[in-house]
Amino acid sequence: MYKWMAVLMVCIGVAGCAEVQDTKIEMDNSAGVLPADRVAVWTGDVEQARAEAAKYGMPILLLYTAPGWCGYCRDLDEQLITQEVFQRYANENLVLLQIDFSDHEKGDAWEAEHTELVADCPIDGFPHLYLLSSAAEKLGSVQYYEPEWSIQDYLDRIAALKNAPAE
């Protein structure tokens, strides 16, 4: 009899903890706290990036790229963007906005549609990284592709810009 009572008490305790855990997660999300399992995914939608940045209070990493014809863009992808260290950092610290100019017509159309953003963050070459505040104000240029830079060099530059006032 005592065994069944002990088992019942454990089950009630576990169920109660699970209910509290669900409530805590829901409260955290409503407060804008970053979910522990957030995965940063590249988007090409400026408004979606702004909304996510505002929701989580994170900066936006804007990448102008053209991997279809730009060798430096492919190198940046291989040496930084696709690396697990960068992805972990992005999951916890960044909203990712990638504008792909591989197709010239689509790139030109995007540029014409987002003239204000392009004026603040000019497309001077490919690839080019900018860090924007959660309000989409330019914090600074991270850098063009630098073959001698390590992943940590890029992350250090991003971190330094995160704490800088908007330009």
Q: Can you say how many angstroms the Cα of residue 118 is from the centroid of all Cα atoms in its chain? A: 19
- Do 137 and 154 fall within a single domain? yes
d(C-alpha 58, C-alpha 87), whole Å: 15
Domain that holds residue 16: 1-30
- Do 67 and 3 fall within a single domain? no
136 dihedral zone (left: phi>0; alpha: psi -120 to 50; beta): left
- DSSP code for 43: B
What does the pLDDT profile of the chain (167 residues) look like in tens digits? 444 444 444 444 434 433 333 322 222 333 356 677 789 999 999 999 999 999 999 999 999 999 999 999 999 999 899 999 999 999 999 999 999 999 989 988 988 999 888 999 998 889 999 999 988 889 999 877 777 888 899 999 999 998 776 66
Quick check: 134 and 164 in contact, CB under 8 A? no
- Do 43 and 13 fall within a single domain? no
- Do 85 and 119 fall within a single domain? yes
What is the value of pTM for the model shown?
0.75
